[in-house]
């Protein structure tokens, strides 16, 4: 291997490491920003029309589609179609996780042969998807925190009930 080849390899390794580092930071920042939009959906904090929320979703969706197309400029049309289909299937999986009623309604409207294929992909891909794994971890953490809070509340309620039972015994 020549010195130039070693330098090229070193340069490629540095560029790869930089991409991985920057990707992680930008993805975390994007997730935080999108999560911050969730606060807008709390009606007790804001007055809005439902269409205004959908405007936000549409704008973000357009940005994601534009990003996908920019990343896939050098891909074949077949690869682009495959990626778009995978995105739609991922969307169905997200709907299944977050809104089972909506998923059921959509499923009833799909052609009969399409639903089993989608569900098969959803079930198979669920365990491979980092987004799904993050979602499961986050939901587990939220439930765990809620369980701890309920445990604390239950303890307080039990103490208060024992205190009130003693008072009621005195009143009899």
The string of pLDDT tens digits covering residues 73-97 is 898 888 888 777 778 877 887 888 8
Which residue matches tokens 């499961």? Answer: 136
The pLDDT value recorded for residue 89 is 77
For residues 126 and 93, the answer to whether their CB atoms sit within 8 Å is: yes
User: What average pLDDT does this structure show over 136-141?
Assistant: 80
pTM of the model: 0.54
**d(Cα 4, Cα 8) in Å, to the nearest integer?**
6
CB atoms within 10 A of CB 69: 13
Say if residue 93 is exposed, middle or buried (CB neighbours under 10 Å; 0-12, 13-18, 19+).
buried
Q: Which residues contact 96 (CB under 8 A, 6 or more apart)?
A: 103, 122
Residue-level pLDDT at 171 = 83
Q: What mean pLDDT comes out for the span 117-125?
A: 67
Q: How is residue 60 written in tokens?
A: 């973000």
Q: pLDDT at position 32, please?
A: 92
Site of tokens 């604390």: 152
Domain chopping of the chain, boundaries: 1-37
CB crowding 3-40: b at 16 or more within 10 Å, else e: eeeeeeeeeeeeeeeeeeeeeeeeeeeeeeeeeeeeee
129 in the Ramachandran plot: left (φ > 0), alpha (ψ -120 to 50) or beta?
beta
Q: Give residue 24's pLDDT band: very low, low, confident or very high (50, 70, 90).
A: very high
Question: Looking at residue 45, what DSSP letter applies?
Answer: T
């Amino acid at each position: 291997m020549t010195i130039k080849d070693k330098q090229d390899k070193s340069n490629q390794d540095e560029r790869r490491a930089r991409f991985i580092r920057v990707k992680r930071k930008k993805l975390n920042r994007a997730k935080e920003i999108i999560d911050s939009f969730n606060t807008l959906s709390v009606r007790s904090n804001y007055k809005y029309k439902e269409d205004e929320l959908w405007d936000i979703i549409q704008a973000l969706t357009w940005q994601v589609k534009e990003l996908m197309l920019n990343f896939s400029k050098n891909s074949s049309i077949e690869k682009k179609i495959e990626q778009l289909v995978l995105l739609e299937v991922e969307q169905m999986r997200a709907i299944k996780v977050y809104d089972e009623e909506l998923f059921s309604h959509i499923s009833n409207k799909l052609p009969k042969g399409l639903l089993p294929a989608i569900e098969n992909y959803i079930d198979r891909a669920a365990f491979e998807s980092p987004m799904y794994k993050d979602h499961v971890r986050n939901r587990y953490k939220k439930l765990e925190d809620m369980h701890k809070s309920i445990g604390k509340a239950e303890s307080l309620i039990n103490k208060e009930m024992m205190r009130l039972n003693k008072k009621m015994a005195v009143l009899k």
